[in-house]
Structure 1
Amino acid sequence: MAPKTDIEIARTAEKRPIQEIGAKLGIPPEALLPYGHDKAKVTADFIAGLEDRPEGRLILVTAINPTPAGEGKTTTTVGLGDGLARLGHKTAICIREASLGPCFGMKGGAAGGGYAQIVPMEDMNLHFTGDFHAITAAHNLLAAMIDNHIYWGNALGIDQRRVTWRRVMDMNDRALRDIVCSLGGPSNGYPRETGFDITVASEVMAILCLATDLADLQRRLGEIIIGYTRDRTPVHARELKADGAMTVLLRDAIQPNLVQTLEHTPAFVHGGPFANIAHGCNSVIATRTALRLADYVVTEAGFGADLGAEKFMNIKCRKAGLAPAAVVVVATVKALKMNGGVAKDDLKAENVAAVRTGCANLGRHIENVRSFGVPTVVAINHFAGDTEAEIAAVQDYVRGQGTEAILCRHWAEGGAGIEPLARKVVALAETDHHSFAPLYPDEMGLFHKIETIARRIYRADHVVADQKIRDQLTAWEEAGYGHLPVCMAKTQYSFSTDPELIGAPEGFDVPVREVRLAAGAGFVVAICGRIMTMPGLPPEPAAHSIGLNAEGQIEGLF
């Protein structure tokens, strides 16, 4: 008999009323705004009343560079939360919401897997509570107000050639990357070049995930730079009087969403900035709320540790005053074999030598994470075809790195299969030898920050950037933005900007082709290599397999 799919497992879950899940964290029913019976938003008033509470311990789950074999970072995050709860700890999980683009593109879902899932799985992967639609609407309202302002006389003197605010939609659509708008005559405005990004790449998404409350949200939205005048003076969203209406659209979206795992562990699922072109973490509001309600909070950062964990430490923790108590680096035998040069079709055969070669990628991530002063442990996400010799090779290698690799069977066994890792995490988190610090100080120059990440995290030799880019960074420093952290936008598949350069490469160049100032979010984006802010669909998108069965149930999500 074939094993159950993720969606079949999720469909048979015995979910408890969301008020019961909230009660586990001390959230009263009146502080929940239900969306049906199994999900709710936590009210802003309740969250504001938690301000003086002590915070629990924050556990970050990250991973090696992703491969087509899969790593299971979200699955491990969910499983670890269930494992900690099984040990009697008051636990909450914090992850991002799923984007429709990747869901219908390559991923097919993002709620964990097997018996380590968050439910309702179908809702989470589709429209959920409407947060992404609200972000899309707020972003595009600003875009409409820009063109409308220009149409009605352009009192701010916006240079149409220097409008930097594009439009967004939550779908992968390469045809919209570059467009010409306002065609059709004078009544439609002034034609200009623009384009679309995916919603998760929107600065509005990043702002929502970094804002501390509604007032901070509106302040940040007002700081958005939409373009420039002919003399290169920046024009802000507040000058267009757009920040108030945008905040109204986001009033409900900023409130965190509460759901549950298959084992009824509370889970906050909120926000979803991309990890390669944004900072890749769930919202600060959700994380801080969870920390004031639970003893342990398990969260994740997108893609490999070179992107997600680096930005979690250097952007989210810096801005929100957070400090992880321990970090889990997820790896799989299959992914390590691929990093060791094995083709995807050949992964079923035992290949201990390839595992050992691929471990160089894991070792680099361990070294990088520990450079932030945080204790680290490795989770081997178990697959049925893993052999004892391959698992032992990983454990031996990690032992040589001065830490431990623990075999985790949460996909098949739920929280019970990850208890050994949960015990280790508790032991690490309760030590008093933490010395967390970001990689670079605020006062370091912007280009120097880019170089620091490229050399210390990626192991590059040089950062290659035109004088125009360097001058732009200098101009931003002179305008008062030099203290901001940098957000590196590059491929997730390699430490380099070349997705084919797997393993642990050294001695390469990092080309920076563009820099963008996200003044509202509070970081500078360095776009490296061929990274896209609007993905395309693959040759066989997941959408081909998604539909309704004869009973009207959704099939094809995984």
Structure 2
Amino acid sequence: MPKTDIEIAREAAKKPIQQIGDRLGIPAEHLLPYGHDKAKIGQGFIDGLRDREDGKLILVTAINPTPAGEGKTTTTVGLGDGLNAIGKDAMVCIREASLGPNFGMKGGAAGGGYAQIVPMEDMNLHFTGDFHAITSAHSLLSAMIDNHIYWGNEQEIDIRRIQWRRVVDMNDRALRQVVCSLGGVANGFPREGGFDITVASEVMACLCLADDLSDLERRLGDMIVAYRRDRSPVFCRDMKADGAMTVLLKDAMQPNLVQTLENNPAFVHGGPFANIAHGCNSVIATKTALKLADYVVTEAGFGADLGAEKFFDIKCRKAGLTPSCVVLVATVRAMKMNGGVAKGDLGATDVEAVRKGCANLGRHIENVKSFGVPVVVAINHFSGDAEEEVAAISAYVAEQGSEAIVSRHWAGGGKGAEALATRVAEIADAGVSNFAPLYGDDMPLFEKIETIAKRIYRADEVLADKKIRDQLRLWEDQGYGDLPVCMAKTQYSFSTDPNLRGAPIGHSVPVREVRLSAGAGFIVVVCGEIMTMPGLPRVPSAEAIRLNDAGQIEGLF
């Protein structure tokens, strides 16, 4: 029996985190250790890096996720180890894991096989407490809004127009829509409310896009929490909550340093979902890594239609980042699923199904190229892949004007990714990227939505009623028209129908709701049946997670 991810991680020969910091030139006094194998980086050290030259930024993205698994994070870690294995100075930057999906269906976010970041158990559970701090800061604002109303409502908040929902870091469908303040006069004024998952909180987005604590406090203050009867906005700063929230987030703002199984440095920081938020690790972690390494390998959540688009149009636009190369992850198994093969039949060789399923891969290649960034396809190798199936993907990718490289990092770690690393470094060093966002800042908001829907999703139209269009125009009149849009839709398809695999055309994108995230600096566009509070599956992963007789965690993946 092959070892499980958690068994491999448990056997890791980890180095003390001070040694990992030494390799990056971080003095011990600027490392704030959390145990022996993880630490935060002090802001003073980060501030001292500003005059250093930036390294090359490499984005790892993927096809639309399937139940067969693609291994995007595994490839990100494997590529980072592979670059170090060929003598390059490389770091990895990924997101932190949310407890909700860990105990639900998606699992953790530390990689897999012999391409993992450790400590795996800590990363997939409480880690350094960042998500708890974000939940607490968000909850403080929630409490202060209702408290303000209770004590006389000086800001004249219309309780029918409170925008600020509560959050919890767990998949709990029962909390999507609630009525709060029941039970009498002492408990306030009853009203309808609801919960999102913590990773969908605007506080998370603000933290992940802020440059430092002062920028974070400004962004928090800019968040709109409600509207008055005259429709004028009420900001977080009107509640006088931004300062206290920043205090709660003081430590969470600092990047977390950990290591791969091969003792290479990695930042794991921030964790907005890609289907309901912008899906990238923090700007401060990425920018710091670019000052500390020649190559920084990062990832964007889910498929390229969501994660990569938001990485380019939101994170890179806002942070002034220029990616040098994109690695698009695909697997033979996922191609077969996109080609119509059932999950239970994936073990049988089916070259025709692979060819048919490659349409999804081709669409993503074309989309990423439209941003002006060179693309390499990484075929994440599984032991059951037939040579002719791999060859079919390689031939298809060549027809698209790109190249595919088989990578065996899951089984071989950095050595298994050397071929991929060599080619990625060559492309990054060649400086051939001509990156540009998909749309300009001055494009009207609804046109930005249409541009993404038509050029990335290949939809024929965007369906939005007059109320939504009027809301977008009002935000433009209020000075928010230059913001990018953050599309909240299913990750499983280019369309808003999760069952529509491959590369569909001729579909429509229905917009159900739009939300202004004025602090984060984008408009959230909720499409189709997407939920900002997920639910647990029929058999949640939590049922298999437990401590064994030795006190070790079992069942995490």
TM-score by length of 2: 1.00
CA deviations over 1:157-178 (Å, ceiling 9, x no partner): 0000000101000000000000
Distance 1:37 1:210 in 2: 28
Distance 1:72 1:275 in 2: 16
Unaligned segments of structure 2, at least 5 residues: none
Partner of 2:556: 557
State the partner residue of 2:510: 511
Q: Distance in 1 between matches of 2:136 and 2:426?
A: 45
Q: Compute the RMSD of aligned alpha carbons.
A: 0.5
Question: Helix, strand or coil for the counterpart of 2:74?
Answer: helix
1:34 aligned onto 2:33: yes
Q: Counterpart amino acid of 1:308?
A: G
Aligned to 2:219: 220
User: How far does residue 93 in structure 1 lie from its aligned partner after superposition?
Assistant: 0.3
Name the CA distance, whole Å, in 1 between partners of 2:403 and 2:263.
Answer: 29
Work out whether 1:240 is the aligned partner of 2:236: no
CA distance in 2, matches of 1:78, 1:432: 23
> Residue 381 of structure 1 contacts residue 408 of structure 1 at CA under 8 Å; is this kept in 2?
yes
Equivalent AA in structure 2 for residue 323 of structure 1: T
Is 1:307 matched up with 2:295?
no
Q: Deviations over 1:445-466 (max 9, x none)?
A: 0000000000000000000000
In the alignment, the residues of structure 2 paired with residue 227 and residue 494 of structure 1 have an alpha-carbon distance, to the nearest angstrom, of 34
Between the aligned residues of both structures, percent identity stands at: 75
The question of whether the paired residues in 2 share the 8 Å contact of 1:16 and 1:264 is answered with yes
The corresponding residue for 1:189 is: 188
How far does residue 23 in structure 1 lie from its aligned partner after superposition?
Answer: 1.4
Q: Using the alignment, how far apart are the partners of 2:52 and 2:29 within structure 1?
A: 20
Does residue 106 (structure 1) correspond to residue 105 (structure 2)? The answer is yes
Contact 1:224 1:520 in 2 (8 A): yes
Match of 1:440 in 2: 439
What code does the residue aligned with 1:319 have? K
Instruction: Give the match for residue 486 of structure 2.
Output: 487
Aligned counterparts of 1:129 and 1:401: Cα–Cα separation in 2: 43
1:430 aligned counterpart, secondary structure: helix
Report 1:228-267 matches (<5 A): 228-267=227-266
For residue 432 of structure 1, report the CA deviation from its aligned partner.
3.0
1:146-545 counterparts in 2 under 5 A?
146-545=145-544
1:437 partner amino acid = A
The residue matched to 2:297 in structure 1 has which SS?
A: strand
Distance 1:389 1:361 in 2: 19
The answer (yes or no) to whether the contact 2:110–2:116 under 8 Å persists in 1 is yes
- How many angstroms does 1:231 deviate by? 1.0
Q: Deviations over 1:110-130 (max 9, x none)?
A: 100000000000000000000
Q: CA deviation at 1:153?
A: 0.2
Matching residue's letter, 1:175: A
Whether the aligned pair in 2 keeps the contact of 1:108 and 1:556 (CA below 8 Å) is: no
Counterpart Cα distance in 2 of 1:232 and 1:340: 50
Is the Cα contact below 8 Å between 1:53 and 1:292 reproduced in 2?
A: yes
Alignment of 1:17 with 2:16, yes or no, is: yes
User: Is residue 179–residue 194 contact of structure 1 (8 Å, CA) maintained in 2?
Assistant: yes
Letter in structure 1 aligned against 2:389: E
SS in structure 2 opposite 1:488? strand
Q: What CA distance in whole angstroms lies between the structure 2 residues aligned with 1:416 and 1:458?
A: 36
Q: Is the 8 A contact 2:485 2:524 kept in 1?
A: yes
Whole-angstrom distance in 2 between the partners of 1:39 and 1:483: 39
Q: Gapped runs of 5+ residues in structure 1?
A: none
CA shift for structure 1 position 433: 2.4
Cα distance in 2 for partners of 1:469, 1:255 equals 37
- For 1:190, give the aligned amino acid: F
- Mapped partners of 1:438, 1:301: distance in 2: 15
Contact 2:324 2:432 in 1 (8 A): no
Displacement, 1:374?
0.5
1:79 equivalent in alignment to 2:78: yes
C-alpha contact 1:25 1:90 (8 A) present in aligned 2:
no
Name whichever of 123-132 and 15-24 sits farther off: 15-24
- Provide Cα deviations, 1:438-488, integer angstroms capped at 9, x if missing partner: 000000000000000000000000000001000000000000000000000
Q: 1:325·1:428 contact (CA, 8 Å) conserved in 2?
A: yes
Offset at residue 108 of structure 1 (A) = 2.5
| TM-score (norm. length: structure 1) | 0.99
Supply the distance in 1 between the matched residues of 2:501 and 2:107 (Cα, whole angstroms). Answer: 24
8 Å contact from structure 1 (residues 105, 538) kept in 2: yes
Q: Which amino acid in the other structure matches residue 521 of structure 1?
A: A
Determine the C-alpha separation between the residues in 1 that align with 2:67 and 2:530: 18
1:387, distance to aligned residue in structure 2 (A): 0.4
Instruction: Render the CA deviation track for 1:274-317: whole Å, top value 9, x for unaligned.
Output: 10111000000000000000000000000000000000000000
Q: CA deviation at 1:503?
A: 0.2
Does structure 2 conserve the Cα–Cα contact (< 8 Å) formed by 1:372 and 1:437?
yes
Residues 324, 431 of structure 2: 8 Å contact kept = no
Q: Deviations over 1:52-98 (max 9, x none)?
A: 11100000000000000000000000000000001111111000000
What is the aligned partner in structure 2 of residue 3 from structure 1? Answer: 2
- Does the residue aligned with 1:550 lie in a helix, a strand or coil? coil
Q: Secondary structure at the match of 1:325?
A: strand
1:117 aligned onto 2:129: no
Which residue in the other structure is 2:545 paired with? 546
Provide the C-alpha distance between the structure 2 equivalents of 1:310 and 1:340, rounded to a whole number of angstroms: 24
Q: Which letter maps to 1:374?
A: V
CA distance in 2, matches of 1:189, 1:483: 38
* 8 Å contact kept, 1:101–1:170: yes
Once the two structures are TM-superposed, the CA of residue 107 in structure 1 deviates from its matched residue by 2.2
| Distance apart, 1:27 and its partner CA | 1.1
Matches of 2:20 and 2:374 in 1, distance apart? 31
- Aligned partners of 2:409 and 2:523: how far apart in 1? 38
